[in-house]
Chain A
Amino acid sequence: DTGVSQDPRHKITKRGQNVTFRCDPISEHNRLYWYRQTLGQGPEFLTYFQNEAQLEKSRLLSDRFSAERPKGSFSTLEIQRTEQGDSAMYLCASSLSRTGQRGTDTQYFGPGTRLTVL
């Protein structure tokens, strides 16, 4: 399978605990995105990376959230001191961006990590 993979698929935690999610993008994709989706809504952008550089963060990404993409490969999203409002599906996507071809890059999504904070 050469698609985007995410681990774990489900995570149940108690309020106040820290959690970390992992995303493995499609090989050679230089852009990686994190989104959050709550029930009945479309995904909302959290942050994105161009190779290893984190280029944009949404205001939704409070200081309890941190994301990394070491060496421009896989990425991790950590949530510290989880709150019940963090319960959502966390989606990762990747795309291949080519210089001078803005608008041609399709974002491919992984299966998501469903977080439940009790």
Chain B
Amino acid sequence: KQEVTQIPAALSVPEGENLVLNCSFTDSAIYNLQWFRQDPGKGLTSLLLIQSSQREQTSGRLNASLDKSSGRSTLYIAASQPGDSATYLCAVSGVDSSYKLIFGSGTRLLVRP
């Protein structure tokens, strides 16, 4: 059974710092991995999707990497801003789990001005 873990559960950094969020999954048989952002009481905003054949994806100040064999992904945020404060969730679409996403519990990020 696929399990997704995100560490740390919460993170507080000063504005301008570069930071890394971690995601690990137990079954490497995946089709893709997605990173999402969720603001309090809101829905999820898709940030990046990495297909299983890819190693990384970039969008603006965000860079996500995928090491499928070790079951790990990282989300790198450069030059963090207070507006980046949110919960970041990673999710995998497994080969044996149809098209549903299996989510981690998220990392709650606070960027202090």
22 contacts between A and B (CB under 8 A): A33-B101, A41-B105, A42-B104, A43-B44, A44-B103, A48-B98, A48-B99, A55-B98, A95-B99, A103-B31, A103-B51, A103-B93, A104-B32, A104-B51, A106-B34, A106-B49, A107-B46, A107-B101, A108-B46, A109-B36, A110-B43, A111-B42
Q: Which chain B residues border A56 with CB–CB below 8 Å?
A: 98, 100
Cα-based distance from A109 to B34 in the complex (angstroms)? 12
Q: Are A42 and B43 in contact (CB under 8 A)?
A: no
User: Given A48-B100, A56-B100, A91-B43, do A42 and B51 touch, yes or no (CB 8 Å)?
Assistant: no
List of A residues within 8 angstroms of B46 by Cβ: 106-109
Interface residues, chain A, with chain B CB atoms under 8 Å away:
4, 6, 31, 33, 35, 40-45, 48, 55-56, 58, 91, 93, 95, 97, 102-112, 114
> Are B4 and A42 in contact, CB atoms less than 8 angstroms apart?
yes
Instruction: Determine which of B49, B52, B91 lies in contact with A42 in the assembled complex, contact meaning CB atoms within 8 Å.
Output: B91
- CB B102 to nearest CB in A, in angstroms, measures 7
The reply to whether B100 and A33 form a contact with Cβ atoms under 8 Å apart is: yes
Bound form: Cα–Cα A40–B105 in Å:
7
* B residues 30-67 in Cβ contact with A at 8 Å: 31-32, 34, 36, 41-46, 49, 51-53
B84-102 contacts to A, CB under 8 A, are 89, 91, 93, 98-102
